[in-house]
Structure 1
Amino acid sequence: MSRRPLPHAACLALAALLHLGGGVAHAVPEALPGDGLAPEAPLAPPVPALEIPEDTLPGIGLSRLVFDREFDSPVALSTALPDSGGEQILALQRGEFCAVKLDGSGQWRSFLDFRPRMAGIVLFEEGVHGIALHPQFEKNRLFYLSYTQNDPRRTVISEMRATEGEAPTALPETERVLLEIPQPLADHWGGHITFGPDGHLYIALGDGGLRSDPYRLAQNPWVLHGKILRLDVNTRSGRLPYGIPADNPFAHEQTVRPEIFALGFRNPWGLAFDPHTGHLWCADVGQDLWEEINLVKKGANYGWSDRDGPTTPDFHPQPLIPGTATTDPVHAYTRLRGEGLCIVGGHTYRGEKMPALQGMYLFADWGYGTVWGLEMDALNERATRRLVLHRRAESTKLNPTLITPDAEGEPILLSQEGSLYRIEYIEAISAE
C-alpha cells in the first residue's frame, strides 16, 4: 500500500534528477537510433533573481508529538470537536480518521475507519484529501469529506453525520454525496476543503493531470478542474444536492459553472482562511520551475496553465481565452535556485505563543523538508521577506504534507512518514 504524499507525482521523478545541494534538473533526451552519440542536454532557463530577501529566524524548531503509533500519511486536520477537550480529527490518506489530542498526552481514538471504502486506492495521490466540520457541528453533527474513488475514477465530496456526546464517532450510513467530479488521471487531484467565515464550503481541485494541462482544463470555465469551488451546504439549488450562493462570482453567467469561486490552479494543496483578515490562502504545486502561494479573491484567475508561476510558459504561449486577465502569486519560489520542489500549504499564524510569527503565512516544501514563514506588508497582501524556520537535517525523515493550526491557533506540521510535529520556540522544546 502506497504511503506517498499527495502534492504531485512528478515530485519523485524530479527529486531523482535534482541535485539537492542547489543544482538544476536537466531532462536528457535519448540518443537517436544508430547515431552513436548522446545529444547535449538542453540549456536550463536563466535563474531568476529572488524577488524578496530570505533570512533565518533563529529560536524556532520542530517538536515531535509522541503517540503509540504512526499515522499512515496524514493529510488534513479538522478544527476542534466541541466539548471534547481539544480533540481534532486527523485524516489519513488511506482512509483512517482519528480523533487526536495535540497536548502531548498522546491520546487518540478511532473516529471513522473508511479503509474498506478505500480498498485498491493505492496510487500516488489517490485517497483521502480532506475533512471539515460544519460550522454548526455542535448542533447538527455534520462534517464533510473529500476523497477519491475508482471505476470510474472520480473525486467525491460528501456529507456525514456523527454521534452525539463528548466523544463522537462517524456514522458512515448517513453519508450523502454532494458532488462527484470525473477525473481523467490519478494525479493533480487537489482536494482540500474548508469552511469560510461566510459558512460556505470551499473546495480546491487540481487540473486533472498530465503535464502542461494539455486539455486546458484549468482555464476552461465549464469544468470544475483547476478551480476553487464555493458551495452552500445548507440549501439546495434546483435538483442539486447543494446550493449555489447567490453572490458566487459566476452564479448568473451561463458560460461559467456557477460553483466556481476562482480558477487557474494546477494542484492546490493547502487551503486556509486567515481568521483576522478573512483572506483565503492557497498553495499551488508547480510543474518544473515554480511553486506558488496565492491570495485567493472572488472571481480571480491565477493563470495556470496560461501561466506558470509568474512567467508565461512555452507550452502555452497564448491564453486559452484571448484577453484573459490573470493574478500573480503573492510569492513564488523556483527549483532553479534549488529552493524546493513541492510546496505544501499552511496558514497565517494567529496564535499567542510565538509573537515573532504573528501575521506570517507558514508553509513548507515536501521534497526538501524546509519550513518557512512569509512576512507580509501592512495590508497582509504582499510578501516582503521569507524567513527559514527549519531545515531538515540530512538523513532525517521529514516530508511535510500540511501546516495547520491546533485548537489554540498554534502550528502543527503533518509529515508523510507518519509523525506530527509542533512548530514552537526551541526553549520550549528543550524544556520537554
Structure 2
Amino acid sequence: MPFSAQAVVPGDDALGLTPPTLPPPEIPEEPFPGFRLAKVPFDREFDSPVMLATMPGREGEQVVAMQRGEFCAVKIHDSSWRPFLDFRERMKGIVLFEEGVHGIAFHPQFATNRLFYLSYTQNEPRRRVISEMKATAGDSPVAMPETERILMEIQQPLADHWGGHMLFGPDGMLYIALGDGGLRDDPYALAQNPWVLHGKVLRIDVNGRSGALPYAIPADNPFAKDQLVRSEIFALGLRNPWGLSFDATTGDLWLADVGQDLWEEINLIKPGANYGWSHREGPLETAFHPKPLIAGTTTTDPIHSYSRLRAEGICIVGGHVYRGTKLVGLNGAYLFADWGYGHVWALEMDEERVPTRRLMLHHGPAEHKFNPTLVTSDPEGEPILLSQEGTIYRLETESAD
C-alpha cells in the first residue's frame, strides 16, 4: 500500500533533524481548470480499493481488488458489478494499515486459459505471497480458490512498505513492484541489496519454469547471468512503489514511489536501473545512508519529484500516461495524485520525457473525503480514480453529460 507517510517538518527538534535546503521547483505548477471528479454510481461501496485490472476477452469488464480480500467484477460504463473472488477468510487477522491485498493481474491469454495472479500479505511468518489462480469458463467467470498455485513467498521484516502492485507487460512478462520491507531509513539497506527482492521491480515468466522455480527467469532480464544479483530483479532502489503502468503508445514503464521525509517520486523504469533509495531520496542524498551500500553504484534520478517541505503533498499515488480521446490537452501527460492531500495532477513532458509543467486538475480540499489509492483507466483508456473510502471516480471534463 502507498500510505506510509512519515513526515519531518521544519524545526522538528524531537527528532533532532534539520531539514535540508531544498532546490527550487524544477517546473511550474499551473491550475488547469475544466475537469471534475464524477462518482461512478455503483449501488455499493468498494472498501479500500487498491487495484482495477481489465479482464481480457470480457468486453468492458474489470476487477476491483479490495485490501481486505473482496474482489468484484465491474463494468464502469453501466455501474454494474458481480462477485469475482471472496478472499476475506484468507485475510482474517490481516488488519494493519498497509497489510492486505495489493494487486491482481490477468494473464494476457485469460480468455482461453482463465489464469490470473494475486499479490497479498500473510502472517506467521509475515510474508508477501504471489500466486496464480484459475477462473471458471463461461460468460461470467469467477475465481476458483482451490486452484491457487504459489509462485513466491517473500518474508517481510516489518508490516509496512509492502508495495505489491503488479501487471503484465506488452512482452507477456509479469512485473511486480515490492517495497523495502519497512521502518524508517531502510535500516537493513534491503532496497540496495542485490540478493534480496525488497525494494525492487521483478520480472518473471509465468509460462515457463527455471529449474525448481515455479516460474521462469526471462533470458533477457538485466541480471539473468549475474551471479551477484537475484535474476528476478528488473530494477532496484525503491522504497514503497505504487502504481505500475505501461504507456500504451511507447511501452514505457512508469512507477510512483512514496517518500519518507522529503520527496515523492515519479520514475521511468529502465532495465537494470537503480533509483537510489535509501542512499538517495528524490534528487538528493540522504543523511542516514550517506554512502551507497556498494561502492561505485550508479543511480537514476526520478523524472519528477515533489516535496513535503513545500506542502505539495505527503504520499504519491501512481499513475499512468493518458492515451484516451475525451480529455483534450492531456494526451501524453502522466496522471497522478496524492493520497494525503487529495490533489490530482497531470505531468506534461516533452518527447524526451523531460517534464515541462505540472497541471493541477483537482485541488483536494480538506473537507472533501477523497484519498486516492490509484489513478488508472477504464478499458477505453479514460481515467479512473479509486478512493480509500470506497468510491470509484471518473476524471472527466466539466462539460461531460
Is TM more than 0.5 here? Answer: yes
One of 77, 80, 86 as aligned partner of 2:52: 77
One of 334, 343, 351 as aligned partner of 2:316: 343
The letter of the residue matching 1:205 is L
Question: What is aligned with 1:20?
Answer: none
Offset, 1:81: 4.2
Instruction: Confirm or deny: 8 A CA contact 2:3 2:339 kept in the other structure.
Output: no
Question: What is aligned with 2:13?
Answer: 28
One of 86, 90, 97 as aligned partner of 2:64: 90
Question: What is aligned with 1:65?
Answer: 40
Instruction: Confirm or deny: 8 A CA contact 2:10 2:18 kept in the other structure.
Output: no
Q: Does 1:352 align with 2:319?
A: no
Distance in 1 between the 2:138 and 2:11 partners? 57
SS at structure 2 position matched to 1:298: coil
Question: What is aligned with 1:259?
Answer: 232
The letter of the residue matching 1:90 is V
Stretches of structure 2 lacking an aligned partner (at least 5 in a row): none
SS at structure 1 position matched to 2:268: strand
Deviations 1:198-248 (A, max 9, x none): 000000000000111111100000000000000000000000000000000
Question: What is aligned with 1:290?
Answer: 263
Q: 1:25-64, aligned counterparts within 5 Å?
A: 26-29=11-14, 42-64=17-39
Offset, 1:183: 0.3
Distance in 2 between the 1:50 and 1:166 partners? 51
Distance in 2 between the 1:242 and 1:155 partners? 16
Deviations 1:4-60 (A, max 9, x none): xx2133x2x64xx8xxxxxx4543328xxxxxxxxxx75432232100111111111
The letter of the residue matching 2:30 is D
Distance in 2 between the 1:29 and 1:393 partners? 30
Seen in structure 2, the aligned counterparts of structure 1 residues 250 and 42 have a Cα distance that, compared at 3 Å, is closer
Question: What is aligned with 2:365?
Answer: 393
SS at structure 2 position matched to 1:305: coil
Distance in 2 between the 1:44 and 1:304 partners? 18
Question: What is aligned with 1:8?
Answer: 3
Q: Does 1:134 align with 2:107?
A: yes
Instruction: Confirm or deny: 8 A CA contact 2:72 2:83 kept in the other structure.
Output: yes
The letter of the residue matching 1:277 is T
The letter of the residue matching 1:201 is L
Deviations 1:321-343 (A, max 9, x none): 01100000000000111000000
The letter of the residue matching 2:73 is A
Distance in 2 between the 1:235 and 1:411 partners? 34
Distance in 1 between the 2:221 and 2:273 partners? 12
Question: What is aligned with 2:163?
Answer: 190
Instruction: Confirm or deny: 8 A CA contact 1:264 1:303 kept in the other structure.
Output: yes
Stretches of structure 1 lacking an aligned partner (at least 5 in a row): 1-5, 18-23, 31-40
Instruction: Confirm or deny: 8 A CA contact 2:56 2:108 kept in the other structure.
Output: no
Question: What is aligned with 2:251?
Answer: 278
Question: What is aligned with 1:37?
Answer: none
Instruction: Confirm or deny: 8 A CA contact 1:80 1:406 kept in the other structure.
Output: no
Comparing 45-54 with 203-212, greater Cα deviation is found at 45-54
Q: 1:116-155, aligned counterparts within 5 Å?
A: 116-155=89-128
SS at structure 2 position matched to 1:427: coil
SS at structure 1 position matched to 2:145: strand
Deviations 1:263-311 (A, max 9, x none): 0000001100001101000000000100000000000000001111110
Distance in 2 between the 1:243 and 1:404 partners? 28
Instruction: Give structure 1 regions of 4+ aligned residues with deviation exceeding 6 angstroms.
Output: none
- The size of the alignment, in residue pairs, is 401
Instruction: Confirm or deny: 8 A CA contact 1:80 1:407 kept in the other structure.
Output: no
Comparing 218-227 with 45-54, greater Cα deviation is found at 45-54
SS at structure 2 position matched to 1:29: helix
Give 1 or 2 for the bigger CA radius of gyration: 1
Deviations 1:344-378 (A, max 9, x none): 01100011111311000000000000000000111
Distance in 2 between the 1:51 and 1:289 partners? 15
Question: What is aligned with 2:354?
Answer: 382
The letter of the residue matching 1:29 is A
The letter of the residue matching 1:48 is P
Instruction: Confirm or deny: 8 A CA contact 2:369 2:389 kept in the other structure.
Output: yes
Distance in 1 between the 2:125 and 2:17 partners? 39
